[in-house]
Amino acid sequence: MQANSVTNKTFNVKTMAKVGLLGAISFVLMYLEIPLWFAPGFYKIDFSEVAVLIGAFALGPVPGVAIELIKILLHLILKGTTTAGVGDFANFLIGCAYIVPAAFIYRKHKTMKGALAGLGVGTACMTILGSLLNAFILLPVYATAFGMPLQKIVEMGTAINPAIDNLGTFVLFAVVPFNLLKCILDSIFTVLLYKKVSGILHK
Protein backbone atom coordinates (compact mmCIF):
# COMPACT_ATOMS: atom_id res chain seq x y z
CA MET A 1 0.00 0.00 0.00
CA GLN A 2 2.81 2.37 0.92
CA ALA A 3 4.67 1.59 -2.30
CA ASN A 4 1.53 2.35 -4.33
CA SER A 5 1.16 5.65 -2.51
CA VAL A 6 4.72 6.65 -3.36
CA THR A 7 4.22 5.60 -6.99
CA ASN A 8 0.99 7.60 -7.28
CA LYS A 9 2.63 10.64 -5.71
CA THR A 10 5.56 10.42 -8.14
CA PHE A 11 3.15 10.03 -11.04
CA ASN A 12 1.16 13.07 -9.94
CA VAL A 13 4.30 15.19 -9.57
CA LYS A 14 5.50 14.16 -13.02
CA THR A 15 2.09 14.86 -14.53
CA MET A 16 1.99 18.30 -12.89
CA ALA A 17 5.46 19.06 -14.24
CA LYS A 18 4.40 18.04 -17.76
CA VAL A 19 1.23 20.12 -17.49
CA GLY A 20 3.23 23.16 -16.35
CA LEU A 21 5.79 22.76 -19.13
CA LEU A 22 3.15 22.35 -21.84
CA GLY A 23 1.23 25.32 -20.46
CA ALA A 24 4.36 27.46 -20.73
CA ILE A 25 5.07 26.23 -24.28
CA SER A 26 1.47 26.95 -25.25
CA PHE A 27 1.77 30.47 -23.84
CA VAL A 28 4.93 31.12 -25.89
CA LEU A 29 3.19 29.85 -29.03
CA MET A 30 0.49 32.48 -28.51
CA TYR A 31 3.03 35.08 -29.63
CA LEU A 32 3.54 33.44 -33.03
CA GLU A 33 0.54 35.09 -34.67
CA ILE A 34 -0.49 35.08 -38.32
CA PRO A 35 -2.87 37.81 -39.61
CA LEU A 36 -5.73 36.76 -41.87
CA TRP A 37 -6.93 38.16 -45.18
CA PHE A 38 -10.66 37.67 -44.52
CA ALA A 39 -11.02 39.16 -41.01
CA PRO A 40 -10.08 42.38 -39.18
CA GLY A 41 -6.53 42.67 -37.84
CA PHE A 42 -7.37 41.62 -34.27
CA TYR A 43 -8.17 38.12 -35.53
CA LYS A 44 -4.83 36.33 -35.77
CA ILE A 45 -4.11 32.62 -35.81
CA ASP A 46 -1.62 31.18 -33.34
CA PHE A 47 -0.65 27.58 -32.69
CA SER A 48 -0.93 27.51 -28.90
CA GLU A 49 -3.64 24.84 -29.01
CA VAL A 50 -1.18 22.39 -30.59
CA ALA A 51 0.71 22.06 -27.28
CA VAL A 52 -2.60 21.84 -25.40
CA LEU A 53 -3.92 19.12 -27.72
CA ILE A 54 -0.73 17.07 -27.51
CA GLY A 55 -0.89 17.25 -23.72
CA ALA A 56 -4.60 16.39 -23.66
CA PHE A 57 -4.09 13.40 -25.97
CA ALA A 58 -1.13 12.11 -23.96
CA LEU A 59 -2.32 12.88 -20.42
CA GLY A 60 -6.11 13.10 -20.69
CA PRO A 61 -8.87 15.74 -20.92
CA VAL A 62 -8.45 17.08 -17.36
CA PRO A 63 -4.71 17.76 -17.71
CA GLY A 64 -5.57 19.29 -21.09
CA VAL A 65 -7.93 21.75 -19.38
CA ALA A 66 -5.18 22.52 -16.84
CA ILE A 67 -2.72 23.26 -19.66
CA GLU A 68 -5.26 25.57 -21.29
CA LEU A 69 -5.83 27.33 -17.94
CA ILE A 70 -2.09 27.83 -17.35
CA LYS A 71 -1.74 29.33 -20.83
CA ILE A 72 -4.56 31.83 -20.17
CA LEU A 73 -3.29 32.70 -16.67
CA LEU A 74 0.24 33.32 -17.93
CA HIS A 75 -1.20 35.55 -20.64
CA LEU A 76 -3.21 37.49 -18.07
CA ILE A 77 -0.26 37.88 -15.69
CA LEU A 78 2.46 38.70 -18.21
CA LYS A 79 0.55 40.47 -20.98
CA GLY A 80 -2.52 41.79 -19.17
CA THR A 81 -6.07 42.19 -20.43
CA THR A 82 -8.15 44.89 -22.09
CA THR A 83 -11.47 43.23 -21.27
CA ALA A 84 -11.26 42.85 -17.47
CA GLY A 85 -10.58 39.15 -18.00
CA VAL A 86 -13.89 38.52 -19.78
CA GLY A 87 -12.25 37.92 -23.16
CA ASP A 88 -9.63 35.67 -21.62
CA PHE A 89 -12.27 33.60 -19.85
CA ALA A 90 -14.22 33.27 -23.09
CA ASN A 91 -11.05 32.20 -24.91
CA PHE A 92 -10.50 29.58 -22.20
CA LEU A 93 -14.00 28.21 -22.80
CA ILE A 94 -13.48 28.19 -26.57
CA GLY A 95 -10.18 26.35 -26.18
CA CYS A 96 -11.74 23.77 -23.87
CA ALA A 97 -14.61 23.26 -26.32
CA TYR A 98 -11.96 22.17 -28.83
CA ILE A 99 -9.56 20.06 -26.76
CA VAL A 100 -11.93 18.30 -24.33
CA PRO A 101 -14.12 16.47 -26.90
CA ALA A 102 -11.02 15.66 -28.98
CA ALA A 103 -9.12 14.23 -26.00
CA PHE A 104 -12.15 12.37 -24.64
CA ILE A 105 -12.81 10.60 -27.94
CA TYR A 106 -9.12 9.81 -28.46
CA ARG A 107 -8.91 8.41 -24.91
CA LYS A 108 -11.70 5.96 -25.82
CA HIS A 109 -10.29 5.13 -29.28
CA LYS A 110 -6.51 5.47 -29.38
CA THR A 111 -6.18 5.10 -33.14
CA MET A 112 -5.64 7.51 -35.99
CA LYS A 113 -9.34 7.23 -36.80
CA GLY A 114 -10.18 8.05 -33.17
CA ALA A 115 -7.83 11.05 -33.21
CA LEU A 116 -9.34 12.39 -36.43
CA ALA A 117 -12.87 11.84 -35.14
CA GLY A 118 -12.02 13.64 -31.92
CA LEU A 119 -10.43 16.53 -33.75
CA GLY A 120 -13.45 16.77 -36.05
CA VAL A 121 -15.91 16.88 -33.14
CA GLY A 122 -13.68 19.36 -31.30
CA THR A 123 -13.55 21.58 -34.37
CA ALA A 124 -17.35 21.58 -34.63
CA CYS A 125 -17.76 22.37 -30.90
CA MET A 126 -15.19 25.17 -30.98
CA THR A 127 -16.68 26.71 -34.12
CA ILE A 128 -20.20 26.73 -32.68
CA LEU A 129 -19.25 27.96 -29.20
CA GLY A 130 -16.72 30.43 -30.60
CA SER A 131 -19.36 31.94 -32.87
CA LEU A 132 -21.87 32.30 -30.05
CA LEU A 133 -19.35 33.77 -27.60
CA ASN A 134 -18.03 36.22 -30.19
CA ALA A 135 -21.53 37.38 -31.08
CA PHE A 136 -22.88 37.76 -27.56
CA ILE A 137 -19.80 38.34 -25.36
CA LEU A 138 -16.43 38.92 -27.01
CA LEU A 139 -17.30 41.46 -29.70
CA PRO A 140 -19.58 43.54 -27.45
CA VAL A 141 -16.94 43.49 -24.70
CA TYR A 142 -14.17 44.51 -27.11
CA ALA A 143 -16.33 47.34 -28.43
CA THR A 144 -16.97 48.60 -24.90
CA ALA A 145 -13.33 48.18 -23.85
CA PHE A 146 -12.06 50.29 -26.76
CA GLY A 147 -14.87 52.84 -26.49
CA MET A 148 -16.42 52.25 -29.89
CA PRO A 149 -19.89 51.23 -31.08
CA LEU A 150 -20.26 47.60 -32.10
CA GLN A 151 -21.16 48.75 -35.61
CA LYS A 152 -17.61 50.12 -35.95
CA ILE A 153 -16.23 46.58 -35.61
CA VAL A 154 -18.75 45.39 -38.19
CA GLU A 155 -17.54 48.13 -40.54
CA MET A 156 -13.97 46.87 -40.12
CA GLY A 157 -15.24 43.57 -41.50
CA THR A 158 -17.16 45.32 -44.29
CA ALA A 159 -13.94 47.00 -45.44
CA ILE A 160 -12.48 43.53 -46.05
CA ASN A 161 -15.61 41.72 -47.23
CA PRO A 162 -18.61 43.71 -48.53
CA ALA A 163 -20.88 40.79 -47.66
CA ILE A 164 -20.38 41.66 -43.98
CA ASP A 165 -23.02 44.25 -43.13
CA ASN A 166 -24.19 43.30 -39.62
CA LEU A 167 -23.11 41.28 -36.58
CA GLY A 168 -24.58 38.05 -37.95
CA THR A 169 -22.71 38.23 -41.26
CA PHE A 170 -19.56 39.28 -39.39
CA VAL A 171 -19.73 36.06 -37.39
CA LEU A 172 -20.59 34.01 -40.49
CA PHE A 173 -17.89 35.36 -42.81
CA ALA A 174 -15.13 36.25 -40.34
CA VAL A 175 -15.48 34.36 -37.05
CA VAL A 176 -16.59 30.98 -38.43
CA PRO A 177 -13.82 30.78 -41.10
CA PHE A 178 -11.30 31.93 -38.48
CA ASN A 179 -12.23 29.13 -36.06
CA LEU A 180 -12.38 26.51 -38.80
CA LEU A 181 -8.99 27.45 -40.22
CA LYS A 182 -7.39 27.59 -36.77
CA CYS A 183 -8.76 24.15 -35.84
CA ILE A 184 -7.74 22.59 -39.15
CA LEU A 185 -4.17 23.90 -38.89
CA ASP A 186 -3.88 22.95 -35.21
CA SER A 187 -5.24 19.48 -36.00
CA ILE A 188 -2.74 18.96 -38.83
CA PHE A 189 0.24 19.95 -36.68
CA THR A 190 -1.03 17.84 -33.78
CA VAL A 191 -1.32 14.74 -35.97
CA LEU A 192 2.15 15.34 -37.43
CA LEU A 193 3.85 15.97 -34.08
CA TYR A 194 1.96 13.81 -31.59
CA LYS A 195 3.75 10.49 -32.09
CA LYS A 196 7.13 12.19 -31.88
CA VAL A 197 6.32 14.06 -28.68
CA SER A 198 4.01 11.60 -26.91
CA GLY A 199 6.87 9.14 -26.30
CA ILE A 200 8.63 11.76 -24.20
CA LEU A 201 5.44 12.62 -22.29
CA HIS A 202 4.69 8.97 -21.54
CA LYS A 203 8.12 8.31 -20.00
Q: Residue 5 class from Cβ within 10 Å (0-12 exposed, 13-18 middle, 19+ buried)?
A: exposed
Find, among 202, 119, 198, 130, the residue nearest to 170 by Cα.
130
Express each pLDDT in 9-49 by its tens digit: 445 888 899 999 999 999 999 988 899 999 988 889 999 99
How far apart (Å, rounded) are the C-alpha atoms in residues 199 and 184?
24
Distances (CA, A) of 186 to 45, 58, 102, 120, 138: 10, 16, 12, 11, 22
Express each pLDDT in 45-87 by its tens digit: 999 999 999 999 999 999 999 999 999 999 999 888 877 677 7
- Is pLDDT above 70 for 96? yes
Q: Are 183 and 127 in contact (CB under 8 A)?
A: yes
Q: What pTM value is reported for the model?
A: 0.88
